[in-house]
Amino acid sequence: MSELKNDRYLRALLRQPVDKTPIWVMRQAGRYLPEYREVRAKAGDFMTLCTTPELACEVTLQPLRRFDFDASIIFSDILTIPDAMGLGLHFVSGEGPKFSRRIESARDIDNLAVPDMEDSLGYVMDAIRMTRREIDGKVPLIGFSGSPWTLACYMVEGGASKDFALIKGMMFDAPDEMHKLLSVLAKSVTSYLNAQIQAGAQAIMLFDTWGGSLSGDNYRAFSLAYMQQIIAGLKREHEGRIVPVTLFTKGGGQWLSSMADVGADALGLDWTTDIGLARYQVGQQVALQGNMDPCVLYAQPERIKQEVKNILAAYGHGSGHVFNLGHGIHPTINPEHVQALVEAVHEYSAPYHQ
């Protein structure tokens, strides 16, 4: 593997000195780029794009050709594990992910098994290996997974949900079954992420998209506890480097203290959390990633630059900040506005590291 030329992102996650605040954006390989849409059309459908390593590699690299990002994230989907468990993942236009078979009973849970990572999920590892070769050490490559709770939400609901009635009904009415489901998912995610690290992922991110739908006690019992299990089971060093782990719970800003205690190197923040207060609260334990509202990118470059200045000032001097959006970039964003964002972060952050 090529020597890493830009390790700013990895250093910031470990709260080591950097010359500038690193930046990448969630869903940076995606629909806001015309070249992505061309490859997506060539693939025919989203799952073919995800499961064809050459195509996944290509769209992973696309944003790096346009923008001076400090990290890349492998192109995949958070729902690869339940698909490998046989639930039949597919995507419906305008509705998002759907499962042909959802989890409805204790028997359904008993029938689930940890997938073979190089067999049913080998296409992800192949994409990582291919991307590491092609990226040639320019920036680190991030591997990722959905959290057990988030995966379970889709598996029980059969797709996206507004009220989470089915999974919360199971959680409250049959907590033992819920824990059994989350346990097999935690084992699966641990194996999946370790396989990604072995294949060449240089940092790991856990996306807990729906943890914020829970109350505090239930978040700790049904989401955070299983992410702690995963973090404890991860291979934390590879190729002579520490492999940092970032935990991101959308809507989880009120639980930062609990989140900082589970062993992650960094916490992701959405835009509803003040990054300055978050640093005051947990910044001695973990790095912070975030947290610009993605909709700021609809504004003109001057307004984008001002928001960058505001967030950098709120975090303050020193390392431990990875600039990012508070959630995924919207598909109708102008790529020129992303360029303005990246340039502003690098320009205005340098004085904070002197």
Distance CA 194, CA 234 (A): 6
77 among annotated binding-site residues: yes
Query: Of 15, 40, 132, 279, which one is the catalytic site residue?
Result: 40
Q: Would residue 31 show up in a list of annotated catalytic residues for this protein?
A: yes
Distinct helix (H) and strand (E) counts, the chain: 16, 11
H or E stretch covering 96: strand 96-99
Distance CA 308, CA 296 (A): 10
Q: Would residue 66 show up in a list of annotated catalytic residues for this protein?
A: no
For 255, the token pair is: 């639980």
Distance CA 348, CA 96 (A): 37
Query: Of 7, 11, 36, 77, which one is the catalytic site residue?
Result: 77
31 among annotated binding-site residues: yes
Q: Would residue 27 show up in a list of annotated catalytic residues for this protein?
A: yes
29 among annotated binding-site residues: yes
Query: Of 154, 192, 226, 315, which one is the catalytic site residue?
Result: 154
Residue 17 Cα distances to 197, 287, 353, angstroms: 24, 12, 7
Provide the H-helix boundaries in the chain.
8-13, 34-43, 46-51, 53-66, 80-82, 106-110, 122-135, 148-157, 165-173, 175-199, 216-219, 225-232, 256-260, 275-282, 301-315, 335-349
265 among annotated binding-site residues: no
132 among annotated binding-site residues: no
- Residue 3 CB: number of other CB atoms within 10 A? 7
SS3 call for 80: helix
321 among annotated binding-site residues: no
Query: Of 8, 27, 132, 279, which one is the catalytic site residue?
Result: 27
214 contacts 184 by C-beta, under 8 angstroms: no
The residue among 149, 156, 131 whose CA lies nearest residue 72 is 131
68 among annotated binding-site residues: no
Residue 151 Cα distances to 19, 140, 156, angstroms: 37, 26, 9
Catalytic residues: 27, 31, 40, 77, 154
Q: Which residues are annotated as a binding site for substrate?
A: 27-31, 77, 154, 209, 327
User: Which residues belong to the annotated binding site?
Assistant: 27-31, 77, 154, 209, 327
